[in-house]
């Protein structure tokens, strides 16, 4: 899909998701969503505001913060925790999934439901509990950050 068609598809998805929740897909919300989609890393609201302001000098800080909240409500983005009670955000695909989040470089990867199906099966056996859905995010180091960390250890 061309980037332009991808954006149009994103706009349609945003329209239907937000209007299902009685919210309008404003130009600002779309702008915020596009900026999130361009990033492979989680970004804080403050960083996102700085990024957007470079091209859109009139955008307001509060607008960016509110847009992020409504994207999270609509299931198009997710909020992640960083050290020091800071929230960071990433765009989300529509299928149900979980995340790997690197605390070294903030890269985030979506992992599908199938990767935790075995865990759900085990929980069901051990606790007699039927899992309907869950949100499970894993925080740690990505391959290149852990390479770098073990390299630093060897040098020390
Ligand atoms: Zn996601
Ligand atoms: Zn990393």
| Predicted pLDDT of residue 4 | 67
- The segments of the chain whose pLDDT lies below 50 read none
| Predicted pLDDT of residue 6 | 66
Ligand closest in space to the Cα of 135: 1
Backbone phi and psi for residue 94, each to the nearest 5 degrees, phi listed first:
-80, -25
Q: 100 and 138 in contact (C-beta within 8 Å)?
A: yes
* Dist. CA 7 → ligand 1 center (Å): 18
* Dist. CA 62 → ligand 2 center (Å): 30
Q: Considering the chain, tell me which residue range(s) the CATH 1.10.10.10 domain(s) occupy.
A: 1-94
* Model confidence, pTM: 0.80
Three-state DSSP state, 134: coil
pLDDT digits (tens, 9 = 90+) for 13-58: 777 877 777 777 788 889 999 999 999 999 999 999 999 999 999 9
Question: What is the gyration radius of the CA atoms in the chain, in angstroms?
Answer: 18
Right CATH for 95-156 from 3.40.50.2000, 3.40.50.300, 3.30.1490.190, 3.40.605.10: 3.30.1490.190
| Predicted pLDDT of residue 80 | 94
Kind plus residue range of the DSSP H or E element containing 74: none
The neighbour count for residue 2, using CB atoms within 10 Å, is 7
* Dist. CA 105 → ligand 2 center (Å): 4
Ligand closest in space to the Cα of 142: 2
* Dist. CA 62 → ligand 1 center (Å): 24
Q: 71 and 61 in contact (C-beta within 8 Å)?
A: no
Nearest to 70 by CA among 25, 134, 6, 108: 25
Which CATH number is 1-94 given? 1.10.10.10
* Dist. CA 99 → ligand 1 center (Å): 6
Q: Considering the chain, tell me which residue range(s) the CATH 3.30.1490.190 domain(s) occupy.
A: 95-156
Three-state DSSP state, 130: coil
* Dist. CA 123 → ligand 1 center (Å): 23
């Amino acid at each position: 899909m061309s980037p332009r068609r991808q954006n149009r598809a994103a706009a349609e998805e945003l329209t239907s998701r937000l209007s299902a929740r009685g919210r309008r897909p404003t130009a600002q919300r779309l702008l915020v969503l596009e900026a999130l989609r361009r990033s492979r890393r989680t970004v804080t609201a403050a960083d996102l505001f700085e990024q957007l302001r470079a091209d859109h000098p009139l955008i307001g800080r509060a607008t960016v913060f509110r847009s992020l909240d409504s994207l999270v409500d609509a299931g198009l983005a997710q909020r992640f925790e960083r050290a020091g009670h800071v929230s960071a955000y990433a765009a989300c695909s529509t299928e149900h999934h979980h995340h790997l989040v690197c605390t070294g470089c903030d890269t985030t990867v979506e992992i599908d439901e199938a990767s935790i199906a075995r865990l759900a099966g085990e929980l069901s056996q051990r606790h007699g509990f039927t899992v309907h859905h869950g949100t499970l995010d894993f925080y740690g180091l990505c391959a290149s950050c852990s390479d770098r960390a073990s390299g630093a250890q060897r040098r020390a």
